[in-house]
Amino acid sequence: MRVLSTAEAQQALAAKRAAGKHGLVAMFSSYLGGVVTDPALMVVPLDDHGFHRGRAVFDTATLAGGSLYRLDIHVDRLFESCKLGWLEHPFTKDQIKEWVKGTAAASGLKNGNVRYWITAGPGGFSFQPKHCEEACFYCAVFQSQFVPEASGDVPTLKEISVPAAKVPLKPPALAQAKSNNYWLNVMTHLAAAQDGGVFGVGIRED
């Protein structure tokens, strides 16, 4: 097995993450302390507990006409998710909003999607958050995945009912907080896709 040099690894990343290929336009990382616009640099540390332990929460916003839609409400929900998940961090709501706005501005997009995360941060592969160096905030701005039809209408996305016997319903704790644990969400989508749908709606037998 080859051991890549730094230059070889950077070249491979640049080829895999070509600009525009995945729709990513800009990313802010509190760990790096700024915004990057090269998709090859839009990465998080492998030992970030948000990745290998799911110790992270996220939220979103819509960028429309150069404005961010309902950002205050979404940031409030982000902080509530942190509270529900006992995820401690040093960030303020005003700080988060400025980072989101700055990332959106750096993207140059007038219309797109914004997603952002607070994670426990990097610090080994233990399950214990006390090993984390610092909590991290990441924000990504990307092009919309749902392209309007020629008429301007958003395409219809078929919903399929998915019984709990096939995919278990989310427990209340995971349903109330927007955490990185989307395993059941993805399974519900896959079950819906088997029947020609896109979104799955979990239902109980009773």
- Cβ neighbors of 124 (< 8 A, separation 6 or more) are 47, 131
Stretch among 46-55, 73-82, 100-109, 155-164 having the lowest mean pLDDT: 155-164
CA distance 190 to 183: 11
pLDDT computed for residue 149 by the predictor? 47
Query: Catalytic: 178?
Result: yes
Q: Which of 16, 101, 166, 178 is catalytic?
A: 178
CA distances from 169 to 38, 125, 148, 162, 164 (A): 38, 29, 31, 10, 6
Give the mean model confidence (pLDDT) for residues 97-126: 96
Q: What is the DSSP letter of 43?
A: -
Pairwise CA distance, residues 85 & 107, whole Å: 31
* Residue-level pLDDT at 1: 94
Percentage, residues of the chain above pLDDT 70: 93
Mean pLDDT to the nearest integer, 154-182: 82
% residues pLDDT > 90 (the chain): 61
Pairing of strands 24-29, 34-36: antiparallel
Residue type (1 letter), 143: Q
Q: What is the pLDDT of residue 190?
A: 92
pLDDT at residue 55, rounded to an integer:
93
Q: Residue 78: its pLDDT value, please?
A: 97
Measured CA to CA, the distance from residue 33 to residue 52 in angstroms comes to 22
Q: Which residues pair with 58 in a beta bridge?
A: 117
The pTM assigned to this predicted structure is 0.88
Cα distances from 96 to residues 74, 135, 144, in angstroms, run 11, 13, 22
pLDDT at 45: 95
Q: How far is CA 127 from the centre of its chain?
A: 21
